[in-house]
Homo-oligomer: A and B are copies of this chain.
Amino acid sequence: MKMLDIGEVAARSGVPPSTLRYYEEIGLIASVGRRGLRRQFDLEVLERLALIALGRTAGFSLQEIREIFGRDGRCHVPRPDLRRKADDLDAQARRLNALSRLLRHVAACPEPSQLDCPKFRKLMRLALRKPAKRVA
């Protein structure tokens, strides 16, 4: 089985070695062993890192990600919680879309102050539906 040095993992994933060590320290990834001092990773870690990056951009903390994609590739979160998180993500996605439309409108609108533009205000009310609450 092909093993990767930390440098290789860094090169392929774009995640710096210092961060990979940190992630290992907090139990977010695992090396499969050492060769001398050097950590060896197998290719699977790359998928895991991609998933971690994804979770991060979705606003999950590293702790949450560890829970959701717990070491051993198994998920230790009860199913209803997962579905709730999925709902949160959907709501969040809708907010992002609304914000996106808002930004596009700002980019296009000639109105001197945005707050004076009725379309802006309408888009904003729309973006603010679902009061933007962080859910741990």
Name A's B-contacting residues (CB within 8 A): 44, 47, 50-51, 53-59, 68-69, 72-75, 79-80, 82-83, 85-87, 89-90, 92-97, 99-101, 103-104, 106-108, 112-115, 124, 127-128, 131-132, 134
Known contacts A57-B59, A72-B113; can you find 7 more A-B pairs with CB under 8 A? Answer: A50-B131, A57-B132, A57-B134, A73-B115, A74-B114, A75-B106, A89-B99
Among B51, B96, B134, which residue has its beta carbon within 8 angstroms of that of A93?
B96
Instruction: List the B side residues contacting A95 at CB < 8 Å.
Output: 54, 57-58
* Copies of this protein in the complex: 2
A106 to B, closest residue via Cβ: B75
